Structures are given as C-alpha cells and as structure tokens.
C-alpha cells in the first residue's frame, strides 16, 4: 500500500486515504460533522456522505458554524474542459447539488478553458472552448438551481483577470513551483493560472466551500496562505476519494484510458458491453472456487461503483456484500445488476443533457446569480 | 562612455546610442527611411525625426512598404500609470500623434494599471487606477483623433486576458527570465505580464508599429520570436532616445527624482524656479571664462531640451549652438529662454488637459475605434 502518488495531475496506485489526510494535513470528516450536517439541513445524508466518499475536509466545521450563526457560506467548484466528462467527473457535482439544495446557497462553477488550453500541448483554444460547452451541458443536467448557480468560462468572464491580479501579487514563482512543480520550461500562462483558479474563492465575502477530489487540494493551500491578508476567509473544502476506472481500484477513472471510463455521452448499449468485458471484480478463478471461498468485494470495481454511486440503498448494498463473501453471488450477476443501474442513469442523464441546451444561457448570463456577477464590480479587497 | 546600462526598468549613465543599436540588434533610422517618410506623408518631418530623437528601428522599412502598397499598418503605444507624467513621458506621444495624423492610421494606447500594481511593491491597485485616469488626461491633451484612437486600461478591458492566453502558451519561464530578469521571488503576475503587453500587437492583422524609448525593446523581441507562429506579423518599432533629467545628461528623466523632472501638472511658475535652480548647463566656472572659451552645448541639459522638444526652429537652434560655443551667450540667457518655452507649453497643455476630462469616455468607450474593439471578437489566430 506504499506506492501511491497524488498530485493535481496524477493519481497512481492504490490510495491510502488515511495517509493522504496525514500527508496533506487535512482533517477527517468525522461522524460528528456529518451528524451536524444532517441536523442543520434537516435531511438524511446522501450516500456520498454516509459512505465516506467525502472523507476529509478543511474548515468544514467553520462552514457549519457560519451557516448556523446566519453568516452563510457559498459553494465553488469547477471543471477543466479537456474532453468529454465521465462518471468519475460528475459524481462530485451530484454531491455539490445536494449541498446547494439543502443549505440553499449560491454556487459558482468555473469552466477553465484557459487552463486546459495552457496545460495541454495538443489542445487548441478552440478545442477547450468546444469542450467547455459540451461539459456545461453535463453539469446543467445534474439539476442545479439556475438562479443560484453561475457557470462561467474563464475566457469569456475575463473580469476574472482583474480579480486575479491582486492574487498574483501575493504568489511568487518559488511558492507556485513548490505546489505545482513548475520548471523553467513551464509556460508563463501556466505559472499565472493558480491566481485565476483562486479568484472565485473571493466572489462573496463569506466562507467558500469547495467540494472536490483530494488531489485538487494543493490549489487551495496557496489560497489559504494569503486569503486573510486580502481581508477574506481561507477557503474551506471537503475532499472526495477517487472514482476508480473499470479495470482496477488503483488510481482514478481517466479520460486518457477510454476502456476504463464510462462517458456521460456513451451509448448505453455500448456501455453494457464495456462493463461486461472490462470490469475488474473480486471474483475467484472459477465459479466453483467462488462458491466455496466466497468473493472479495473489497477488491471489486463493480462493488465499488455500486458503493460510490449506483446503489442508493444501504441495506441492499450490505446484503450484496455478504452474499458475495458467502459465495452466494457470482460476478456475472453483479455485473448485470451494475449494467442495468448505469444504463438507467445514462438514459436519464442524456435526456436531461438534451434539455440543458436550452438552459445554458440562463446559467451563464441571464440567471439571477449570473446577472449579478456580470454586473458586479470587483470586490473591495481585491482592488489591492 | 562605457558605463551605461539599459533595461526596461533602469537607464543609467551617459548612453552611447550607436552601441545600443549594436547591442540590441536594431537598425539605425537612416536618412533614406526618413526621406521616404517625408515623401509618403507629403509632409515636412517633425523635429523628433529631423534631429534623430528617434534613432533606431525594427522593420520600419517594411511598415513604409506596407503603407505604400496599401496594406496599411497600425500604431500601438502605452503608459504605465505609476504616478504623474512628466515631459519625458509625453514627448513620444507627440511623435506618435504626428505619425497617426500623417499616415491616417489607427492607434491603440494601453494603460497598464495591472503592470504597475504588480511591479511596484508600494502601489495599491487603487493607486494605479487613479493614475491611469490622470495619465489618460495628459495623453488625450496631446490631440489624438478620438475615432481612430482607443485608449484602454488593462484592468477594465479584460478581454485582453483572453488574447494573452495563446501568447502565454508560447513563452516559457526561461524565455521570460532571459529578457526580463525574473527570479524565484518574482510574483506570478509579473511573470505573466509580458503576454498582456504583447496582446495589442495582434489587434489588427496588419503590421504594428510601436514608437517607444529603446529601453522598451526587450518586450517586443519576445513578441517577434513567436508572432509568425500565430500567423501574425513581427511587430515593428521605432526607438527614441531618452529625455534627460534637469540635473544631467546621464540616464533619463525620472519620476523618482522629482527635482530632475518637470511634471505636466506642475505649476508653471514653480517650474521656472526649478529649471533656474537645478538645470545643468555646459557653462564655464565664471562668466569671464565663458566669454573667453565659449560654452559646451553638448554637455548642456538646457540645450538638449531645446533640441529634443522646445525649439521647433532648426535655424534658431543652430544659431544658439554657435553663439554658445563662441562665448556670446551666458547660461542665464538660455535658461530664461527655456523657461519661457516650457511655461508656454505647460499652460497650453494644462488647458487641453482640462478639456480632456470631457473626452475620456469617447477615447475609452464610445469613439469609433473604441466601440469596434469592445464589440470585436478575439482575432482568429489568437483562438489558439
């Protein structure tokens, strides 16, 4: 379990999440915090929280305090539009939607077409703008409140440059290098980019809560170094685990390994065949051996996907776990069950994605929060 | 004459301009080019060209060819708003005005409030925005065509960020460091800034001509390295010498040494006293010695200022030169003559500066060229 590596660009190996909490210096998302979340929202926790898909945080306790005391908070997340979105990308958006809905707060979604163009040698700016639009459809399909959600694309909402300038005066090359591993060959756009990414944490003079996979944490550590010197809050975050690819629990689902990923625009029938063919299970070499020794659900991608997203019902999930352990279930049965769940999800998502085409304008320009942001002057403290 | 240093931030020592042409790898502004300028514009050359205040260039020959062949060109210059403008700052704008008027071309004036905030530790963003407004008044007072001139402030015309992104993908830290001397301590905003400064050279798909002091040349060398790979022209430039401060011919008039500079908003009476008290002349130790040996106009700031800007009449200037050499003129006489000229200039300028308050909106937002730029999409090639 020693060989794993987590940076904002790579996740390799089987991840030891407790070790990540220690290494990143974050805090575990405790039972107490989750109970308080349930209590404040007067809701049952969704599976992302019940099952600790979100497992770590920074200052989430303070976010809850701010909510309780009436100060409030806001949500910020984003997407780097370098290609089609897969299931691993969209799950945190569902968790974010739950938070928006239950706490009734504003949400800012940054589409970083500048970042992806700058960091990916082979992508043109036209490419990342194309994917920006495509990805926005997937995001809207999740079902956010169009009047409390502002989706903005860096290359369009260039006001963000003005906000990034005071931030970019707080970070020197050495600091950025330490966090992001820049070299002499890094393009000056890449070097500047952390300032653009930090800017939305200052969109409101409240605490900002970022739900994101833990590999994104380094970006926010820099923000937390200088935020208070600009008269703002250090951003808070809740960190998710990674959604593994079809072929193994190591690492995360990756768009660069298409056979391991389920894209949101994939044809559901094709997806069925892909899962059937590629999904790694915790099964034994033969059906006979499996019936005798039982399967190993902790080594099984099919079970992991059900756990993370596709089996809403805790009781059913546990029954499946035990049935597998006891050798009562064969892998084909589980695969078929997962395939049905994934296909249902994709059909529903693709329907909503189609409807989203008519909603893009509202989320980007004409919704209440969008209009407010386009009209708003730059926050006082960011005036330098 | 060996000890001089020219970077975009410092000009020190008595400058050997021929050596600069060699070191910077630029070309001398030849008689032939100046004659062609006169011929194409059907105009007498202004003193800035006649007297070789502009002395060097890159591709100005090609600019003239483009003009002659009907392809045309455009002008681009700028101002870093870190404080009040002095005489040394405004002279190149008068030369630029002549070029705009005679060639009938568009002019883009970048007000780099972002740059000055980022590069100057002690300036707030509010400071540089304040000075941006003040400086714009001085620039408008020069008398540009409001429908062919677009004055834009980086922090407002943030569309420039989108244009800078593809440029920022062409420049790596090592390249930027070589030109600008960045270090590990340089702020990431400073490191990105060369991309913002290069963007306006792509505002039109014509050759861009930048009239600027030679110390600004390094910025454009970078642009010339990658412009063609984006499908654009390498920018052309004509380079001016420096306007010396009152107290010596070395270096250039500097806002950080107030006793050596004449600000455009200075009280004309005060200016008279300042020149009288501080101006270095080429005079001898005593009036007697001066009458016997003659003065040394080549060592005289008063003469240099008359030569660069304040004595329009070539014949009068040469008469003064010889009269000084022959011991017929004493320094007090020259100082009084210069004081009168400077005071006349300032009174006129300050009148126009007052009138400029009503014109800011036109130059920044509502003039023909301004409107076109605010409405325009990003140039094709810069889409990446």
Residues A215 and A322 in one domain: no
Residues B199 and B71 in one domain: yes
On whether residue B374 sits in a domain, the answer given is no
Query: pLDDT of A74-87, one tens digit each?
Result: 999 999 999 999 99
- For the segment B170-174, the average pLDDT, to the nearest whole number, is 96
Give the burial class of B381: count Cβ atoms within 10 A of its Cβ; 0-12 exposed, 13-18 middle, 19 or more buried: middle
pLDDT at residue A120 greater than cutoff 50 = yes
pLDDT score for B162: 95
Q: DSSP letter for B83, please.
A: S
Distance, C-alpha B319 to centroid of its chain: 29
- For the segment A373-384, the average pLDDT, to the nearest whole number, is 72
Q: Please tell me which of the candidates A126, A172, A194 has its beta carbon nearest to residue B184.
A: A172
- For the segment B350-359, the average pLDDT, to the nearest whole number, is 98
- What's the rounded Cα separation, in Å, for the pair B190 and B199? 15
Tokens of B227: 């412009």
On whether the CB atoms of residues B199 and B164 are closer than 8 A, the answer is: yes
Q: Which residues of B163-178 are buried (b: 16+ CB within 10 A; e: fewer)?
A: bbbbbbbbbbbebbbe
As a whole-number percent, the residues of chain B with pLDDT over 90 amount to 84
CB spacing of A192 vs B191 below 8 angstroms: yes
Residues A119 and A214 in one domain: yes
Please choose, from the candidates B309, B270, B261, the residue with its C-alpha nearest in 3D space to the C-alpha of residue B85. Answer: B261
Residues B287 and B238 in one domain: no
pLDDT at residue B37 greater than cutoff 90 = yes
How near does any CA of chain B get to the CA of A183, in Å?
A: 8
pTM of the complete model: 0.91
Residues B78 and B34 in one domain: yes
Residue of B112, B115, B160, B165 for testing the chain A interface, max A β-carbons within 10 Å? B165
Instruction: Please state, rounded to an integer, the average pLDDT across all residues of chain B.
Output: 93
Residues A290 and A333 in one domain: yes
Query: pLDDT of A122-179, one tens digit each?
Result: 999 999 999 999 999 999 999 999 999 999 999 999 999 999 999 999 999 999 999 8
pLDDT at residue B30 greater than cutoff 50 = yes
On whether residue B132 sits in a domain, the answer given is yes
On whether residue B378 sits in a domain, the answer given is no
CB spacing of B126 vs A162 below 8 angstroms: no
On whether the CB atoms of residues A153 and A132 are closer than 8 A, the answer is: yes
Q: DSSP letter for B214, please.
A: G
Residue of A169, A195, A223, A374 for testing the chain B interface, max B β-carbons within 10 Å? A169
Query: pLDDT of A23-80, one tens digit each?
Result: 889 999 999 999 999 999 999 999 999 999 999 999 999 999 999 999 999 999 999 9
Reported ipTM: the value is 0.89
pLDDT score for A110: 98
Per-residue pLDDT band at B16 (split at 50, 70, 90): confident
On whether residue A17 sits in a domain, the answer given is yes
Q: DSSP letter for A152, please.
A: E
CB spacing of A192 vs B189 below 8 angstroms: yes
Q: Please tell me which of the candidates B156, B160, B172 has its beta carbon nearest to residue A188.
A: B172
Shortest CA distance from A121: residue in chain B? B169
Alpha-carbon distances, residue B29 vs B44, B92, B235 (angstroms): 17, 16, 16
Tokens of B178: 């070589």
On whether the CB atoms of residues B229 and A226 are closer than 8 A, the answer is: no
Residues A265 and A126 in one domain: no
Query: pLDDT of A276-302, one tens digit each?
Result: 999 999 999 998 999 999 999 989 999
pLDDT score for B48: 93
Q: Please tell me which of the candidates A127, A155, A169 has its beta carbon nearest to residue B117.
A: A169
pLDDT score for A376: 83
Task: Tell me phi and psi for residue A187, to 5 degrees.
Answer: -70, 150
On whether residue A168 sits in a domain, the answer given is yes
Please choose, from the candidates A94, A103, A25, A23, the residue with its C-alpha nearest in 3D space to the C-alpha of residue A63. Answer: A103
pLDDT score for A255: 75
On whether residue B115 sits in a domain, the answer given is yes
How many other C-beta atoms can be found within 10 angstroms of the C-beta atom of residue A1?
8
On whether residue B367 sits in a domain, the answer given is no
| Domains contained in chain A, number | 2
- What's the rounded Cα separation, in Å, for the pair B122 and B116? 10
Residue of A120, A157, A161, A193 for testing the chain B interface, max B β-carbons within 10 Å? A161
pLDDT at residue A319 greater than cutoff 60 = yes
pLDDT at residue A314 greater than cutoff 60 = yes
Alpha-carbon distances, residue B192 vs A169, A272, B121, B231 (angstroms): 11, 47, 17, 22
pLDDT at residue B230 greater than cutoff 60 = yes
- For the segment B189-210, the average pLDDT, to the nearest whole number, is 96
pLDDT at residue A1 greater than cutoff 50 = no
Residues B296 and B190 in one domain: no
Residues A33 and A55 in one domain: yes
Phi-psi region of B111 (alpha: psi -120 to 50; beta: other; left: phi over 0): beta
The last residue of a domain, from among B246, B281, B302: B246
pLDDT score for A2: 44
Q: Which residues of B329-367 are buried (b: 16+ CB within 10 A; e: fewer)?
A: bbbeebbebbbebbbebbeebbebbeebeebeebbbbeb
Q: Which residues contact A361 (CB under 8 A, 6 or more apart)?
A: none
Helix ranges, chain B (H): 17-24, 31-41, 47-50, 60-68, 87-103, 113-119, 125-141, 159-168, 173-180, 188-198, 217-226, 268-278, 287-293, 301-305, 314-325, 331-356, 360-361, 368-375
The last residue of a domain, from among A221, A246, A271: A246
- For the segment B80-104, the average pLDDT, to the nearest whole number, is 97
- What's the rounded Cα separation, in Å, for the pair A198 and B382? 25
Residues of A with CB under 8 A from a CB of B: 114, 117-118, 124-129, 155-156, 158-162, 164-174, 176-177, 182-192, 194-195, 382-384
Q: Please tell me which of the candidates A158, A176, A188 has its beta carbon nearest to residue B195.
A: A188
Residues B170 and B72 in one domain: yes
pLDDT at residue A12 greater than cutoff 70 = no
Per-residue pLDDT band at B377 (split at 50, 70, 90): low
CATH of the domain at B204: 3.40.50.620
pLDDT score for B224: 95
On whether the CB atoms of residues B171 and A187 are closer than 8 A, the answer is: yes
pLDDT score for B2: 44
Per-residue pLDDT band at A384 (split at 50, 70, 90): low
SS3 B73: strand
Tokens of B284: 């001898």
Q: Looking at beta carbons, which pairs linking A39-42 to residues 24 or more positions away fall under 8 Å?
A: A40/A64, A40/A67, A40/A68, A40/A103, A41/A102, A41/A103
How near does any CA of chain A get to the CA of B187, in Å?
A: 4
User: What sign has the CA pseudo-torsion A276, A280, A282, A286?
Assistant: positive
Per-residue pLDDT band at A215 (split at 50, 70, 90): confident
Please choose, from the candidates B112, B77, B104, B63, the residue with its C-alpha nearest in 3D space to the C-alpha of residue B211. Answer: B77
Per-residue pLDDT band at B378 (split at 50, 70, 90): low
Tokens of A51: 């099952």
Residues B190 and B277 in one domain: no
On whether the CB atoms of residues A179 and A137 are closer than 8 A, the answer is: no
- For the segment B108-116, the average pLDDT, to the nearest whole number, is 98
Instruction: Please state, rounded to an integer, the average pLDDT across all residues of chain A.
Output: 93
Query: pLDDT of A331-372, one tens digit each?
Result: 999 999 999 999 999 999 999 999 999 999 999 999 999 999
For residue B192, the chain A residues in CB contact (below 8 A) are 168, 188-189, 191-192
pLDDT score for A79: 97
Residues B230 and B103 in one domain: yes
Residue of A153, A188, A197 for testing the chain B interface, max B β-carbons within 10 Å? A188
Q: Please tell me which of the candidates B123, B172, B195 has its beta carbon nearest to residue A186.
A: B172
pLDDT at residue B302 greater than cutoff 70 = yes
Tokens of A65: 């305090």
pLDDT at residue A14 greater than cutoff 80 = no
Shortest CA distance from A186: residue in chain B? B172
As a whole-number percent, the residues of chain B with pLDDT over 70 amount to 94
Domain containing residue A322: 258-356
pLDDT at residue B313 greater than cutoff 70 = yes
On whether residue A368 sits in a domain, the answer given is no
pLDDT score for B4: 57
pLDDT score for A171: 96
Max intra-chain CA distance, chain B: 70
Q: Please tell me which of the candidates B128, B173, B177 has its beta carbon nearest to residue A182.
A: B173
CB spacing of B155 vs A162 below 8 angstroms: yes
- For the segment B110-118, the average pLDDT, to the nearest whole number, is 98
On whether the CB atoms of residues A113 and B383 are closer than 8 A, the answer is: no
CATH of the domain at A299: 1.10.240.10
CA angle A95, A96, A100 (to 5 degrees): 120
- What's the rounded Cα separation, in Å, for the pair B15 and B1? 7
DSSP structure string for A300-341: -HHHHHIIIII---HHHHHHHHHHHHTT---HHHHHHHHHHH
The last residue of a domain, from among A246, A272, A301: A246
CB spacing of A165 vs B125 below 8 angstroms: yes
pLDDT score for A329: 93
């Amino acid at each position: 379990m020693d060989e794993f590596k987590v940076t904002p660009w790579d996740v390799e190996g089987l991840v030891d999440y407790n070790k990540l909490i220690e290494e990143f210096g974050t805090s575990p998302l405790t039972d107490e915090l989750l109970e308080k979340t349930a209590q404040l929202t007067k809701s049952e926790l969704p599976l992302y929280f019940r099952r600790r898909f979100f497992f770590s945080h920074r200052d989430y306790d303070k976010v809850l305090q701010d909510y309780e005391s009436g100060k409030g908070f806001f949500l910020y997340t984003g997407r780097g539009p370098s290609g089609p979105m897969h299931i691993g990308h969209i799950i945190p958006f569902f968790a974010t939607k739950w938070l928006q809905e239950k706490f009734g707060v504003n949400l800012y979604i940054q589409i970083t077409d500048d970042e992806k163009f700058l960091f990916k040698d082979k992508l043109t700016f036209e490419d990342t703008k194309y994917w920006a639009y495509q990805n926005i459809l997937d995001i809207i399909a999740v079902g956010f409140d169009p009047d409390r959600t502002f989706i903005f694309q860096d290359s369009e909402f260039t006001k963000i440059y003005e906000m990034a300038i005071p931030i970019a005066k707080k970070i020197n090359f050495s600091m950025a290098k330490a966090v992001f591993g820049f070299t002499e060959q890094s393009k000056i756009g890449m070097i500047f980019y952390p300032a653009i990414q930090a800017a939305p944490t200052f969109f409101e003079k409240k605490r900002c809560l970022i739900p994101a996979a833990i590999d994104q944490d380094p970006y926010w550590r820099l923000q937390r170094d200088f935020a208070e010197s600009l008269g703002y809050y250090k951003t808070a975050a809740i960190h998710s685990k990674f959604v593994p690819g079809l072929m193994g629990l190591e690492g995360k689902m990756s768009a660069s390994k298409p056979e391991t990923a389920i894209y949101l625009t994939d044809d559901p029938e094709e997806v069925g065949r892909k899962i059937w063919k590629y999904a790694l299970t915790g099964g034994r070499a033969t059906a006979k051996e499996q019936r005798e020794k039982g399967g190993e659900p902790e080594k099984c991608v099919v079970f992991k996907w059900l756990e993370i997203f596709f089996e809403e019902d805790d009781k059913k999930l546990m029954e499946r776990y035990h049935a597998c352990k006891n050798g009562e279930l064969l892998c084909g049965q589980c695969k078929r069950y997962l395939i049905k769940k994934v296909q249902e999800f994709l059909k529903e998502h693709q329907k909503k994605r189609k409807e989203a085409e008519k909603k893009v304008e509202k989320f980007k320009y004409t919704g209440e929060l969008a209009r407010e942001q386009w009209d708003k002057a730059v926050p006082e403290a960011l005036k330098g």
